[in-house]
Chains A and B, each alone.
Chain A
């Protein structure tokens, strides 16, 4: 009879199962899952400075709880959590303290839960390559991110995946996607649209591409042989929740291409592109039941929070009390309250969540908001669409609209927090303060590089605490600020709570520090872009058009120190810089190899390589000027590592007059950006440039004609008088080049500059 009951149970339980599973019955193996608990992003800055993303509260529950619940819900047995050294401790501590998830805990739904820390990991790719080495994965496993919120049942997908894999070993991966309709949908990622080219009959994924509003055109470059398929759909209506069902081969694929960093933009795109090479097939499972989304940035955080309030994520809603010790109760008009909540009789509250022992003063109104534990909200306070974390104090007559207030924030009487404001941990707003609306404030006690910020009274009012938050200037300060999930600058679109394209020309979500520091208005930014587009000699066929445009874009932002720039460009520049900086070795071949690797992987155009190299050397030189005088700096930058010069000669310039001119121009641009980046003052920049050119000249990298060609090139002066000033510094050198012809005296020349 228990079997009979079982039948009922299955009926009563989640739908999907039933007939499927025929496949599973044969192999009685256990289901493994890998959680990527580190995003390597700073979309959540400034909050992510204090806490790893996966521990930030989403509807008063740390995100990772949702992820783990999802895995438990789907009967996962073994879980591996990957963290970078940056935040393993916190996450590990959190899990260890939760009697439910702790490894080996009696009541844990998992048979094992292991942490794997990779100290030197700089990208998700590093994790998976590491995982491949460890050979922990016996068969199919589920790959998810630490910020996943989902209630979909994977049984169907797993069964299909398994069937496919048994049919053909090359069917290595199934991507779970949630359809979200053609219309605008709050839970779709904004700024960057993923496009999946899918063969409907087989659900096979043929191509993956990302587009974003900042790119000049909205072309996808489709591999012509995709067109050979009888039918295919280009789906842009999908929510990519980052759930992948993988066979161990997937890890092998990661290992093969050491430069893959991101599961989608690099890996998926790459593997599909090189289908002929690797012969692997990737399939999609597009679900139209259940919920699945990644809180991959603040906008998604906002959307998912709303979905939770709207019970789209059911049963993952507060009043299910999935987290041990929670005891939320659903009360009238969509309000969930914990125990010990004190609500004044004449306070109104709708569609909201109130955490443990929070209090709401009389006359206050809260709507569509989530309020954490032990918050004190005064009288006549108005809170709308906001996310207020734990132990926040909000004094009387304050208004808060669509903002995020982290733990222990304090807002004084009669203050106004307008849409989009982000108040990080411990920030305190003095009474009667009105925060700026455009751009919305991002206030933190720390700066991007983790150093404490000096309180900015003009912003947070007298004896308030906190200052406007700036991204870290140094590109290598930690794993967060590089290896962007989406390599192009539109990721900046995802750094604000509210998605807006207007936001483009304002500082918080600016494209680059270029804009941040010299508040140039958009058309000036445009001019820059154009300048640079002209900068590369484009043999323009539609096929390559977008490619080049992207280059120009990335190149453009390449001149910023900003962390988010073209995948190839960032990686290349970082790679080179690292090897240039490296104290221990003075060998440059490794760097060179890696660079060529990258180049192939992204099939970067010559011009983009040229820029990358120019930028990295320019940067290096700029760095050195802090300690040395320009001439020395330039010399060190170029000559420290043996082979560097040769590298520049062959790869960087590798051509006659025209190319040389390009390179020189690239250097100039790079330095100018340094200047704008306030890492170098204009005067110096010029000198450095001069020194660099002079050095390159003396090592026969640039020839007289090349330099002169640059000198006379119109582009060297347009785009801001900075360019001109910098250029001027080289006048001496150029004049000298024009009339002098012997090299010996060159040293003195440069010295007495």
Chain B
């Protein structure tokens, strides 16, 4: 992205307009805001959506002093996390946002940015450029794709899982590279269809580019890894946790385990803003991390009946589209994490976290 749109005043104008419009009328509903943002842009990822929501809030809040603002943000951030079954991705966003504010309070510059701004400046800056953060997030995705595409060699077979848009773009870039070099994509893709809504378009897009794609059930993974002589596996993730592990769509752990068993490199494509300060110790530890899902329900006949009575999909209704269950993939299963800031070993994630909170 060029510095051109940096100074573009529109976003500011619009936002403040909305802001002033609804200012004193309806109380600001962070969750609603979040949902609308998420819905408005299919490309947007949960952490970014959360950040956007908070920025909106920042525009609306009547709080004047810095401390006030921070606390307002804090409460809303928690509100937001309450509202979803799997708060961790949002936590990634909100934490990042809050830390950024705090920093500007402390007057220390965030590394990789310009000299420290005053709190007001920061506020201004955030409001003015909110739109720009979204684009940046997408740019990050492009960068990852660009880096990751280099991994896909001539004649290789790549396994991709889940509806990760990052992985999708990555594979499309790879296809482009091959077309440049060979005139046609010289690699095959095995796509694990885990029923996420994004995987179907991904497959279609790849096939459009002339990449041969095979769709398989999750149950067929082990078989396929061998049968198709898979060279490497790419997955996206919802978050990368403190120790370099993943919290991601159910099945990722399974896949990672299989890949390690079969000595197949297991690469994770994740924007750095998906890194979050959470430290799950095991699968069983997820609830502690705030993840609410009941995948494991041991039932006997009567519970079963009891459930029949009141509608079965209560669970889903309560948590909307956030319902897809997740699992935890420990770092030792991960070959490396491709971020827009370079390819990192899981161990390197901690440095980033450290930096965020010091």
Contact = CB atoms under 8 A, between A and B. Distances in A.
Interface in A326-341: 331-332, 339-341
A343 B155 contact: no
A345 B184 contact: yes
A341 B154 contact: no
Given A342-B182, A343-B182, A343-B184, 11 more contacts: A331-B154, A331-B155, A332-B154, A332-B155, A339-B181, A341-B182, A342-B183, A345-B185, A345-B186, A345-B212, A359-B183
B188 to A, nearest CB: 9
A568 B185 CA distance: 64
A344 B210 CA distance: 11
B181 to A, nearest CB: 8
Contacts of A345: 184-186, 210, 212
Contacts, number: 22
A151 B186 CA distance: 35
Contacts of B154: 331-332
Contacts of A341: 182-183
A143 B42 CA distance: 73
B155 A344 contact: no
22 contacts: A331-B154, A331-B155, A332-B154, A332-B155, A339-B181, A340-B183, A341-B182, A341-B183, A342-B182, A342-B183, A342-B184, A343-B182, A343-B183, A343-B184, A343-B186, A344-B184, A345-B184, A345-B185, A345-B186, A345-B210, A345-B212, A359-B183
Of the candidates A332, A342, A345, the one having the most CB atoms from chain B within 10 angstroms of its own CB is A345
A332 B210 CA distance: 21
Nearest to B178: A345
A340 B181 CA distance: 6
Contacts of B185: 345
A304 B153 CA distance: 31
B68 to A, nearest CB: 62
How many B residues are at the interface, by size bracket?
10 to 19
Contacts of A331: 154-155
Interface in A304-360: 331-332, 339-345, 359
Interface of A: 331-332, 339-345, 359
A732 to B, nearest CB: 78
Contacts of A332: 154-155
Interface of B: 154-155, 181-186, 210, 212
A343 B182 CA distance: 6
Contacts of B186: 343, 345
A343 B183 CA distance: 7
A343 B155 CA distance: 12
A345 B183 CA distance: 9
A343 B181 CA distance: 10
Contacts of A340: 183
A359 B154 CA distance: 16
List 5 tightest A-B contacts by C-beta distance, closest first. Answer: A342-B183, A345-B184, A332-B155, A331-B154, A343-B182
A112 B236 CA distance: 60
Contacts of B183: 340-343, 359
A298 B27 CA distance: 90
A343 B186 CA distance: 9
A329 to B, nearest CB: 9
A341 B182 CA distance: 6
Of the candidates B183, B186, B210, the one having the most CB atoms from chain A within 10 angstroms of its own CB is B183
Nearest to B182: A343
A342 B210 CA distance: 14
A339 B210 CA distance: 20
A354 B186 CA distance: 16
A128 B185 CA distance: 56
A345 B175 CA distance: 13
A342 B182 CA distance: 5
A202 B108 CA distance: 83
A359 B184 CA distance: 11
Contacts of A342: 182-184
A359 B182 CA distance: 9
Nearest to B154: A331
Nearest to A345: B184
Contacts of B182: 341-343
A612 B212 CA distance: 73
Nearest to A343: B182
A332 B186 CA distance: 12
Contacts of A344: 184
Nearest to B184: A345
A323 B155 CA distance: 28
B267 to A, nearest CB: 21
A332 B157 CA distance: 14
Contacts of B210: 345
A341 B210 CA distance: 17
A84 B155 CA distance: 50
A246 to B, nearest CB: 48
B45 to A, nearest CB: 33
Nearest to B187: A345
A342 B179 CA distance: 9
Nearest to A339: B181
Contacts of B212: 345
A90 to B, nearest CB: 34
Nearest to A347: B184
A332 B187 CA distance: 13
A352 to B, nearest CB: 15
B266 to A, nearest CB: 23
A341 B154 CA distance: 13
A75 B299 CA distance: 85
Nearest to B155: A332
Nearest to B211: A345
Contacts of A359: 183
A339 B177 CA distance: 12
A341 B179 CA distance: 10
Nearest to A362: B184
A331 B182 CA distance: 12
